Chains A and B, each alone.
Chain A
Amino acid sequence: MWAFIHKLGSPKWFYGISAKLQPWFWAAAALLLVTGTLWGLAFAPADYQQGNSFRIIYVHVPAAFLAQSIFISMAISGLVFMVWKIKVADMAAAVMAPLGAGMTFVALFSGAVWGVPTWGTWWMWDARLTSMLILLFLYLGVIALRGAFTSRDSASRAASVLAMVGVINIPIIKYSVDWWYTLHQPATFTLTSRPTMPTEMWLPLAIMVLGFYSFFIALTLMRTRSEILRRESNKRWVQELVVGQVEEKR
C-alpha cells in the first residue's frame, strides 16, 4: 500500500502513466461530446414549455456538475498533498483551479443566456446561479491565494487548506442558498428542477455529462504533465527526457 502510494507520488511515474492514459480520455471525450451534442441539439424533442431554448441544458448542467466536482477533487488533492506530501497531487490541484473556475463561468454564462428566453432577463437570483456565483468566488480565492505567496511550498499548502475549508462549506452554502431562495421567490421555477424528463431528453444529457468529465480528466492529465516538466525541470530525468527528444528529432 505504502509502496504504491509513493510510486503514485513520483512525478516521473505519473508522467509515464499519464502519457498512456491521456489518449483514451481524449478519444472518449471526443466521442461522447460529439454524440451528445448531435443527439441533444438535433434529435432530442423540444421542451413543451420552453421550446428549443431548453437545449442549453446540455451545456449548463454538465458544466455545473463539473464545476462542483472539480472543487471536490481539488480539495481531495490538497488533502493527499498535505497528508502524504505527494507533490503530483498539488500539481494537479494547481491546474484544476483555473479549469474549475472556467467551468463555473461556463455554467454561469449558459445560465444567463438561458435566462433570456425563460425569464426575459440576463440575470435572476436563481438558487443554482447564486450558488454557482459563490463557487466562482471560492475558486478565485484559491487561485489568488496560490498566486500571492512567493514561496511555492507555502502557496501549495495554503491553497490546499483553503480548498479543504471551501469544500466543507460548499454544501452549507448550497443548502442555505436554496433555503433563502424558496423563502424569497417561491413562485418562479428553477431552470432545471423538473420532476420528469423523458428518456430521449436525459440520455443525451448523461452522455454530455460523461463527455465533460472525460474532457476534464484528459485536460487535467495534459496540464499536470506540463506542470511536472516545469517544476521538475532541474531534475535529471526531465533533462534526460528533453535531451532524448531533441536527439530523436535530429
Chain B
Amino acid sequence: MTFEVIGTYAVGLCLLIGGAFALIGTIGLLKFNDSMTRLHAPTKVGTIGVGAILLASVINSFVSGEGSMHELLIMAFLFVTAPISANFIAKVNIHKRACDTPPSPPRDDTWSTLAVPEADRSLADQNAKV
C-alpha cells in the first residue's frame, strides 16, 4: 500500500460521507412540514457535508503533491456565516408568525424580533390582521 493508494481511498471515503450527509440534509428539507423544522436540515449539510468534501479536496491536493490550504479558509468563512443566515431565517419566521409563538423570556419583556416600538404599534397590528 503506497501513500497514493491510501490517499485515494481516503479521498473517496470523504466524498462518500460528504455526499451522504448532503443527501440526508436535502431529504430532511423536503420531508419536514413547517418552516422551523426545515431550518435544521441545511445546518447539517453546512457542517459535515461541506466539511467532508473540503477535507477530500485537501487530501487530494496533498496526494497529488501540491498542498492547498484554500479549503481551510472556505471552512472558516462558512462556519462564521452559516449561523447568521440561519438566525435571520428564524427571525423572519418569528416575525411573520409562520411558527408557534415562542414562550416569553423569564427576565426581559419580550424577544427582540417581537419588540415593536410604540410609534409603529398600530402599523404592526394592521399587518397582523392582513
Asked if A and B are interacting partners, one says: no
